[in-house]
Each structure stands twice: as C-alpha cells, then as structure tokens.
Chain A
Amino acid sequence: MLRVFKLADPWLVFTLISMLMLGLLAVMSAGIHLNKDPFFYALRQIVFILMGIPFFFLGAFLNYQSYRFRTYLPFLLGISLLILVILFGEQSWLSLGFGFHLQPSEFAKVIIIMYLSYMLSFDRGGTIRFLHDFLPMAAVCGMLIGAVILQPDFGTAAIMILITGYMLFIGGIPMKFFTLPALIFTPFAVILPFKYSYVGRRFTDYFDVLKPGVDPSSLGFHVLQFHLGIGSGGWFGTGYAQGLIKRSFLPASHTDSIYAVLTEELGFVAGAIVILLFLWLLILGERTARFTLDRFGALLARGIVFYICAQAFLNVCVCLSLIPNTGVTLPFFSYGGSSLIITMYAYGILVNISSQRQLVLS
C-alpha cells in the first residue's frame, strides 16, 4: 500500500499539506472572536482534518478502477439525498449529533464525477448519440442536481451543474446537445433572483460594484466588508490574527469569507499564493491526467481537480467582487467537515491515479 506514495507525484501530497496547514492557520485566526473559546473552531477543524485523513488514505489506496459503476449508484444516492434531507434535514444539512452536521450534497459532486468519467470513458467510435448516450447521463445528473435544488442549496447545485457541464464538455459531447439542458435550466436561473430575495440581492450588490466611481458606503454590506478586508491588507497584511474586519463585521468569516480574512492579515502575498496554489494544483492534475493509464483515469483526475479548483476560483472571485456571491467555500481553507472530508477523499483518488501513472512509467 505504501508503494502508492512512493510512486505518486510527491508535489500532489506536498500541495495538499500546504493548503491544509495554511487553511488551519486561517480558520484559527478567523474563529478567534466567533466563540467564547478562541480555539473552538481551530480544534474542530483539526478534528475534521484528522477525520479526513482516513478518507484520504481510502481514496489513495483503493484502485481507482473500482469506481467504474453505471447508473444505479448515482440514482440511489439522488433518491436517498432527496428523502433524507426533506425528511430530517435543515436546509441542506443532516444532524449527526454532538454538534456535527453532514452535507449530503457534497457527496453528490464526487458521485457525478465518477459516474460521468465512467460513462464518457467508452470508446464510441467517434459518434455520440443524443438519445442513447447523452440523455441517460444528463438525466441521472439532472436528477441529482434537482434533488439539491429542492433542498434548496443553489450554490452547491450551481457547482454540480458546472462539474456536469465540464465533464460532458471535455468528454467530447457535441455542443449542440447542450441546448436542451440549457433550455431547461435557463428559466430557473432567471426566476431564481426574483423568487429568493437573498439571491436577487447578491446580484444587485454585485452590479453596484461594477458601477464606476461608486461610493463605497453604498455597497452591499458583505461586499463592502470583502473590500475593506482585502484592501486594508497591503503587501504583507496587518499581521496574523490582527485582522479587524472579522470582528463581527465580515459575515461567514471562517467559512465562505476566509479568503478575505487571510488576505487582510497576511496581505497581497498570501492572497496571491492561495490563487497560485490552486493554479499549481490544476497543472499537477493535468500532468496526472495526461500520463494516466486510460481515459477513465484521465477524466476522473480532471474532474476531481476541476471540482476543487472551480470552487476555489469561484470563492476567490466572489471575495474579489469579480462575480456575485455564490455561497461556495474555499476547499481546504474554509471551516467545515463534510466538504473537507469529501475533498480529501477525492484528493486521495487523484493521488492514486498519479501513482498508477508511475507504475506505467516504471
């Protein structure tokens, strides 16, 4: 089993450790003022990391070929998610007791990647048929996404749509096939801001930012706090744990907004390092995918890397007011158990794929 780590790309493991450490530091600082116990969130994040390590090893040691499954698993998962969350859930969470919560939609993301990698890995002789090939894949993914939308958890659903779209896109599906899903989802996307005022407000806040010469005091509160936090950092920040914005001003400072806390305290340098770390991960993933054994492995590796990096870039872009607020967390950095454990598990799979590459090379 240890041979996996001897053969795997060491940069992958190094990058993971770097991100986890940096993330832990950020959570430790961001959580200081959120609880009477200043280390409450830091200790829990350590517990989550410790819980994630077995999952990481599971992903790393289990041969990725064993994830070749067809329709039944995602289908079952979709139905179970829907029933569980509707019956027992609070929005998208399931309570596990002892103050821990499970977010089943996190699992759905990885399931979609596995499912689509398998379905798209067949050599169809250059022709992909709409009814026979595309529609079943789209239907299964649509069902999972629908289950998440019904929770309702639009942020996660948007990520799942992105992942699905990306997998189908690089899987070679003709562009015209995307028309039907686009026709189905577009009306939902248009209605959403009007039906849910908080979604609408995120858009109006964002458009306020785009106006030239806008008075900062008229910005949306959350957007303004991002600007204040990131803007006051300078080159090297105000100093670790010395940030001011996280004191009751910045909403979700330890989860969605952790990038702003990090940038305020450690400055432009830390902010740029985080962006470059994820870009670096994208390069590592692409390297793994290119030299992997088969098309399934390549798709799986790319899917996992996309799943991590897309979330990261979305989160960073939200903090930098480049896009409206999506409610997406920063993988490995944001406080949170479910997403961290699942992400570590997926990362384990990536390590496993990279170790297989080395087998071939050797």
Chain B
Amino acid sequence: MIQPADLRQKWVLILFSCVAVLAILRLFQFSILEHDEWTDQVNAQIFREFRVEAQRGRILSSDPSVVLAESDAWVSIAADTHVIRTTHNDARVARRLSTALEMPEEEILCRLHSNRNAAWIKQNITPEQFAAVFKLQNQGLLPGIQFKREIKRYYPNHPHAASLVGFALGERESGFDPLGPYKNLRGIEGIESYYNKLLSGEVGVYIYRVNRFGTPELESFDEIKPIQRGHDLQTTIDLNIHRIAQEEVTRAMIENKARSAMAVVMNPRDGAILAAASIEHSPDVMDDPERFYAMPANCWPDYLRRNLVTASVFEPGSVWKPIVMSVALENKLVKTTDSVEWREPVVLGGKAFMDWKKFGPSLKLGEILTYSSNVGIINVSKKIFAALDNQQIADEFKRMGFGRRVPADFPCRPAGKLPYKNWGIISIGAVAEGYELQVSLAQLAGFYCSIANGGYRIVPHFGRNVLDPRTGDPIENLFTDQPERVMSEETHQFIRSAMMDCIDHGTGKKGSLIDMGVVAAGKTATAKLLDKGSYASNKYRASFAGFFPAIDPRYVIAISVEDPRAKGYYGGVVAAPIFHAIAMRILTEVDGLTGPLPPTPEVTDAQSL
C-alpha cells in the first residue's frame, strides 16, 4: 500500500524549505552585500604591510660634483644590554647571531657585554641578514635584540647655501620596531621643501601574511610597490659665486653698519640663479656666526633660515626707473631720441618732487637713467599715466615680470605689491621713482636679465636638471620654456646703453669694472625707508642692479642694502662697490681672469642701436 504524505511531513518540508531560503538570503547578505567589508577585515587580519622609506635624492650645485645635500639610510642591529644581562641569554644570543650575521661569536659577546644600555651589534646589514635575524627574532630566540633603521641627511657645504637649500626633517621613529612606521624625511624649507616630491622617491611597500598567532610567514613576503630612490636634483647654484656673494654682502653689511644686505647673481640667458646671498644684522650672528651655522638648520633663528632675495619685498627706488622708461618706450609714448623738460619742483597733488641735483633746462631720455633724474622720469611717467589707466600700467609691469611669484621653484616667494587701485595723482611721481609698489630682489634681477639678454623675459629659477640617481645622467631638464619677448630690440639697447653710461660717468661709477677691461652696465637706487607709516628722513635703502660684460652679458647682479649708516647711503656709494667687488671676484676666481682684458672697441650708442 502506498502511503500518502501526511500533514505533519508537509510541515517538516515547509520548515526545511524556509530554512533553505533563509540560509541563501543570509549567504547573500555575507557574500554579496557585505562582501567588501568582510574582505577588508580578512586583509586586516591576515596581511601586514610595512613601508621602507626611499633614500632621499641629492641636491647638487650647478657643478654636479659639488653636493649641497645628500642622505643615507640603512638598517642596523642593536642590543638592549639590560635585557641581555637580566635574562642571562648572552651566550645563546651570540651563538644565534653569529650564524645569522656571519660574525665571530666572541665579537658579538664582547658587544653584548658593553657597559652601556644599548650597543650596536652590526650596522648597515644586508637584506639576507635582516631576514635571518628577523626569523630568529619572531621565534622569540633573540630577546633584547632590536632592529634600528638609521636615516641621516647631510649638508656637506653647509652653511654657504643653507638658506637656499633649506633642510629636511624626519618624524621620530616609533621605538625599535623594524616594521614600524617610518615617516619620510620631509623638506621643510628652501629647495628641500619645493622639490620634496622629486627628492623623496617612492616608499617601498611590502606585504606579508601572518598566522593566527601573529607570526609572519616568511615565504609570503611580497613586494607591493618597489622602493624607488629619490631623484637627484642639479640646481643652478654655483657654490663659488654664492660663497663670493655671501662673503661680500656680509662684509658690506658690517662695514656699512646696515640692517640687512642681499645680492643675487643670475645668468641672463636662462634665468638661472647662480647665487642668492642675504644676511640680516643680529648681535648674535655678528658675535659668533659659526656657532649658529654649527647647529642643525631647524634650530636656527628665523633670520638665518630666511633668504631675503626671495622672501623680502621692498620699495625699489631708482632701479625702477628703467622699468618705467621701458613701459613708455614700448607703448610708443616717448622716442629714444626725445628730450624732456627739466624744471624743479614738479608738483603733483600738492606734493613737490625734487631732483638730487640741478640739471639743464632739458634732459635726454638716456640721461634720465644715467644720472637718475627724478624730474625727468616723472615727466615720462606723466605721459604714461595720461595714456594708460592704472590697471593697464600695472599690467605692463606684470608683463615685465613683476607681480609674479619668483623664483619659479622656491617655497617662500611673495609676489610683491602693485596696488594700482590706490594710485592717485601723487603716484605719478611716486611710482616713477620706485615707490608705492613692492618688489623682490629676484624680480628686479629678472627684469635686468631681460635688458641683458635682448629683451626676453626669463623665469628666475633654482632647478636645472633632474638626474638619474644611479647613472648621474640628466633625465629631465626643468626649465626649457622659450623666453617671451617683452621689449623690443631698440628699447633694450637704449636702456642698456644708458646703464653703461651710468657706470661710465653717471651715478654708478663705483661699479665700474674697467680696471679688468670689462664694460659693465648698471643702475643705482637710493630709496627712503618707511618708518612707522611715513618715510624716514634718515633711513635709506641703497640698491644697485647691473650686468657684465655689457655686450653679451653673462652675469646679472642685483644688490640691496637696507639702512646703511657708516659710509653714506647712496646706491652709488654703498651698493655699487659691492657690485664691483662681487663682479671682480667672479672674474678672477671663477672665470680665471688674471689681468685686464685687451681693450675692446668702444661701443657707442650708434653702434649698439
């Protein structure tokens, strides 16, 4: 007889079906809906990651054999001798280590018995030795033995270029844990900071499995991301020139009892900054500069860490006149052959503008720059302000390279100020004389590069090439942009000629290099300093900007001395001699001139035009 399924069996079957559906839903919840969450947890449970910091790249001067910053990293083995003493494990530990490190057992024992609390067993171990000791350590066979990763950054030519190179700091290591987080050395200031990414390289990421008890499975070590050494950076800094500039500005500051002094040397062809020296007066530094330079860079006072060439902005004074002149010439508001009326005083908005000496009833345009005539340049400025509105004028200045953050590759580089919205009637005179605006010395030097190189705007910069750390070959040229023409050939030659005259028989005679047979071009400036909201009657900034040789120049030098008090305050008296001193030393010490060059045919205005 065939028995039909009774009601109770039906209930059991329904129950089973419900359980099956419930189970599949639950499976769906885990496997599909919460899949990512559980996978992350599995990875967290089973895989351990550790990172090994890449060796930071070197910073080189323009000569790749001169190193400005380099670093080294290695893993060492240290012993906590206190643990060794208290556990009486010295003999066993020494035996195991001697096999793993291939070192004589006696030597290890000797180190373990050191009187100090910590002793090095072996520094800079190989990866094979690391693996062998790591394995023993994880088996609990090496009590008191620790790994230590050592990272050091050296600045071999410290302190000469310290304020440019900056420094890099690493975060403190967490204990002795070999797999613990090693924080990257990070560039804090200067080139170290700006090129931090390029210099840092790629952190190596390694992964390994652990078992249930947290013991690593050595065969599971895997490289997730290979460690990549940081690239080397070849900079434009010529350490010799920088040292010369630094010595000269320091000497000038002391001799002139100035508050600060700075000088920048650039290559006008490509905008490479060869030297950027700065010094600020401080009783501490004056007494014992070496004491500060001997300290780690991060312990220095601010005035040593700051490079004024890039970090400070100021009202430039008369070195601004060539800029005003070039704007007028470029906008065809004046012609190079024009003369302007000279009559003192020029009253603008109730303020009388005077000149520093009496000139004739009229002045040629070139003479305005040669003799730095305020009245002459104000008359030019009047034409500019009549033809262009304030914003257009500011735009013209920006086109010349002002109002931009330079150098292109430096962290602290204010753009300066061109507050054109605030310019009024008085500003016609003030702006012409280089007031009511702020620029940095690097910007100024950049403009004088344009005059020197035929009218092209260059970008002042420190980085030259990225080098392969292994071969030393350049792999990337950092600044290859084609310079942009910002002034016509005629304008640049006219201003250059006026600047040559300025050194020859104008205000900048003390900058002359004729005793070495080199013709130079330059412009002096004496600007009043602001003191408590108004221009002080006895505080000045003496500046000088020039280049040499005048034809096909190789060096542009801009100098600024703040508040000189000893020998006078005129740019021609204070700053021009510094130009002379730096240029002479460059010619003799760097370019190797031993005596005056043979006389060259005199360049006249007519020839240069």
Q: Do A and B bind each other?
A: yes
Are A234 and B35 within 8 A (Cβ)? yes
Given the interface pairs A248-B211, A298-B3, the reply to whether A263 lies near B31 with Cβ below 8 Å is yes
How far apart are the CA atoms of A86 and B91 in the complex, in Å? 51
Q: Which residues of chain A from 264 to 306 have any CB-CB distance to chain B below 8 Å in the complex?
A: 267-268, 271-272, 275-276, 278-279, 282, 286, 289-295, 298, 302, 306
With the chains together, A332 CA to B500 CA distance in Å?
102
Complex CA gap A320/B38 in Å reads 14
Chain A residue, CB-CB nearest to B8: A170
Task: Please name the 10 residue pairs, one residue from A and one from B, whose CB atoms are nearest each other, closest first.
Answer: A231-B38, A268-B31, A320-B26, A248-B212, A248-B211, A231-B30, A232-B39, A230-B30, A232-B42, A279-B20
Per the bound structure, the CA–CA distance linking A306 and B19 in Å amounts to 14
9-residue interface stretch from B10-18, B119-127, B155-163, B472-480: B10-18
Q: Are B41 and A216 in contact (CB under 8 A)?
A: yes
Assess whether B31 is in contact with A317, with CB atoms less than 8 Å apart.
Answer: no
Total A-B pairs in contact (CB under 8 Å)? 122
Inter-chain contact A228/B42, CB cutoff 8 Å: yes
Interface residues of A in 311-354 (CB under 8 A from B): 313, 316-317, 320-322
Tell me whether B31 and A234 are in contact (CB under 8 A): yes
Whether A231 and B20, one on each chain, are in contact in the complex, defined by CB atoms closer than 8 angstroms, is no
Instruction: Determine the distance from Cα of A314 to Cα of B5 in the docked complex, in whole angstroms.
Output: 24
With A170-B12, A231-B34, A245-B46 known, 4 other A-B pairs at CB within 8 A are: A227-B38, A231-B30, A268-B31, A317-B19
For B295, the chain A residues whose CB sits under 8 A away are none
A contact residues around B37 at 8 Å (CB): 231
Bound complex: CA of A244 vs CA of B42, how far in Å?
8
At the interface, yes or no: A240 with Cβ under 8 Å from chain B? Answer: no
**Sample of 30 A–B contacts (CB below 8 Å):** A170-B6, A170-B12, A216-B41, A230-B27, A231-B35, A231-B37, A231-B39, A232-B39, A234-B32, A244-B42, A245-B46, A247-B209, A247-B211, A249-B46, A249-B211, A267-B31, A268-B27, A268-B31, A271-B31, A275-B20, A282-B16, A289-B5, A289-B9, A290-B4, A313-B23, A316-B23, A320-B27, A320-B30, A321-B26, A322-B26
Q: Closest chain A residue to B39 by CB distance?
A: A232
B22-52 vs A, CB cutoff 8 Å, 1 = contact: the mask equals: 1110111011101101110110011000000
User: Is B2 part of the binding interface, using a Cβ–Cβ cutoff of 8 Å?
Assistant: yes
- B606 interface residue per 8 A CB criterion: no
When chains A and B are docked, how far (Å) is the Cα of A313 from the Cα of B12?
13
* B386 contacts A by Cβ under 8 Å: no
Given contacts A228-B41, A298-B3, contact A233 B26 (CB under 8 A): no
> Is A235 in the interface zone, CB < 8 Å from B?
yes
Within residues 164 to 182 of chain B, which ones have a CB less than 8 A from any CB in chain A?
none
Residues on the A chain within 8 Å of B1, using CB: 293-295
CA distance A170 to B5 in the complex (A): 9
Size category of the B interface is 35 or more
Which residues from chain A contact B42 at a C-beta distance below 8 Å?
Answer: 228-229, 231-232, 244-245
Minimum distance in angstroms from A111 CB to a CB of chain B: 21
- Cross-chain contact A235 with B24 (CB below 8 angstroms): no
CB proximity of B46 to chain A, nearest CB, Å: 5
Contact of A38 with B by CB under 8 A: no
Q: Secondary structure at chain A's binding surface: helix, strand, loop or mixed?
A: helix
Among B1, B17, B20, B39, max chain A CB count under 10 A is at B20
User: A228-B45, A249-B212, A275-B24 are contacts. A170–B9 as well, Cβ < 8 Å?
Assistant: yes
- Minimal Cβ-Cβ distance residue in B for A226: B30
CB neighbours of B46 from chain A (8 A)? 244-245, 247, 249
Q: Which residue of chain A has the shortest Cβ distance to B213 in the bound complex?
A: A248
Given contact pairs A247-B211, A248-B211, A286 touches B13 in the complex (Cβ within 8 A): yes
Interface presence of A172 (CB below 8 A): yes
Q: Does A169 count as interface, using CB distance less than 8 angstroms? A: yes
B19 and A268 contacting across the interface, CB-CB below 8 Å: no
Contacts of B5 in A (CB 8 A): 286, 289-290
Which B residues are in CB contact (< 8 Å) with A230? Answer: 27, 30-31, 38
- By the criterion CB–CB under 8 Å, are A295 and B23 in contact? no
The reply to whether the CB of A309 lies closer than 8 angstroms to some CB of chain B is yes
Q: Give residues 148-170 of A contacting B (CB, 8 Å).
A: 166, 169-170
- Per-residue interface assignment for chain B, residues 430 to 474, with 1 indicating a CB less than 8 Å from any chain A CB and 0 otherwise: 000000000000000000000000000000000000000000000
- The answer on a CB contact under 8 Å between A272 and B27 is yes
Size of interface on A: residues with Cβ below 8 Å to B: 48
A residues touching B (Cβ–Cβ < 8 Å)? Answer: 166, 169-170, 172, 216, 227-235, 244-245, 247-249, 263, 267-268, 271-272, 275-276, 278-279, 282, 286, 289-295, 298, 302, 306, 309, 313, 316-317, 320-322, 360
Judge whether B2 and A292 touch: CB under 8 Å: yes
CB distance from B208 to the nearest CB of A (A): 13
B2/A290 in contact, CB under 8 A: yes
CB < 8 Å neighbour of A268 from B2, B3, B16, B28: B28
Complex formed: what's the CA distance from A72 to B35 in Å?
Answer: 54
Most buried by B among A216, A275, A289, A306: A275
- A298 CB to closest chain B CB (Å) equals 5
The answer to whether A294 and B27 touch across the interface, beta carbons within 8 angstroms, is no
- Residues in A with CB closer than 8 Å to B34 are 231
Cross-chain contact A294 with B16 (CB below 8 angstroms)? no
Q: Which one of A231, A249, A321 has the greatest number of beta carbons of chain B within 10 Å?
A: A231
Which chain B positions have C-beta within 8 A of A234?
Answer: 31-32, 35, 39
Residues B9 and A302 in contact, CB atoms below 8 Å apart? yes
CB distance from B138 to the nearest CB of A (A): 15
Instruction: Give the chain A neighbours of B27 by CB distance below 8 A.
Output: 230, 263, 268, 271-272, 275, 320
Q: Is the CB of A169 within 8 A of B8?
A: yes
Residue of A249, A286, A292, A293 touching B9 (CB-CB under 8 A): A286
Question: Complex Cα distance A101/B529, Å?
Answer: 101
Docked CA distance A283–B32 (Å): 28
Cβ B31 vs Cβ A313 within 8 A: no
Q: Bound state CA distance, A268 and B34, in angstroms?
A: 12
In the bound assembly, the distance between CA atoms of A278 and B19 in angstroms comes to 11
Cα of A360 to Cα of B45 in the assembled complex, Å: 59
Closest to A169 in B: B8
Q: CB-CB < 8 A to A293: which residues of B?
A: 1-2
Instruction: Report how far A175 CA is from B45 CA in the complex, Å.
Output: 50
State the CA gap A9–B45 with chains docked (Å).
Answer: 47
Q: Write the chain B residue with the least CB distance to A321.
A: B26
Please state if A322 and B22 are interface contacts (CB–CB under 8 Å): yes
Chain A positions within 8 Å of B22 at CB level = 322
Given contacts A228-B38, A232-B39, A320 and B3 within 8 Å (CB-CB): no
In the docked arrangement, what's the CA distance between A264 and B5, Å? Answer: 38
A271 and B28 alpha carbons, distance in the complex (Å): 9
Bound: A358/B5 CA distance, A? 18
Given the interface pairs A233-B31, A302-B9, A306-B12, the reply to whether A317 lies near B23 with Cβ below 8 Å is yes
A67 to B211, CA, bound (A): 50
- B4, B13, B38: most-surrounded residue (chain A CB, <10 A): B38
Closest residue to B31 on the A side, CB-wise?
A268
CB neighbours of A289 from chain B (8 A):
3, 5, 9
Shortest CB-to-CB span from A304 to chain B, Å, is 14
Within the complex, which residue of A216, A235, A282 is in contact with B32, where a contact is CB–CB below 8 Å?
A235
* Residue of B17, B39, B45 touching A249 (CB-CB under 8 A): B45
Contact: A320 with B209, CB < 8 Å? no
Q: How far is the CA of A313 from the CA of B213 in the complex (A)?
A: 32
Q: A227-B30, A235-B32, A293-B2 are in contact. Are A282 and B13 (CB under 8 A)?
A: yes
Mark out the residues of chain B between 98 and 153 whose CB falls within 8 Å of any chain A CB in the assembled complex. Answer: none
Contacting residue for A172 out of B6, B26, B211, CB 8 A? B6
Question: In the assembled complex, how far is the CB of residue A138 from the closest CB belonging to chain B, in whole angstroms?
Answer: 18
List the B residue with the shortest CB-CB distance to A271.
Answer: B27
Nearest-neighbour CB distance to chain B for A116, whole angstroms, equals 14
Which residue of B26, B37, B209 has the most chain A CB atoms within 10 A of its CB atom? B26
Tell me how far the C-beta of B393 lies from the nearest C-beta in chain A, rounded to whole angstroms: 67
Closest-CB distance, A343 to chain B (whole angstroms)? 18
Q: Given A267-B31, A268-B31, check contact A276 B20 (CB 8 Å).
A: yes
Would you give the shortest CB distance from A337 to chain B, in whole angstroms?
27
* Cβ contacts under 8 Å, A232 to chain B: 35, 38-39, 41-42
Contacts of B13 in A (CB 8 A): 282, 286
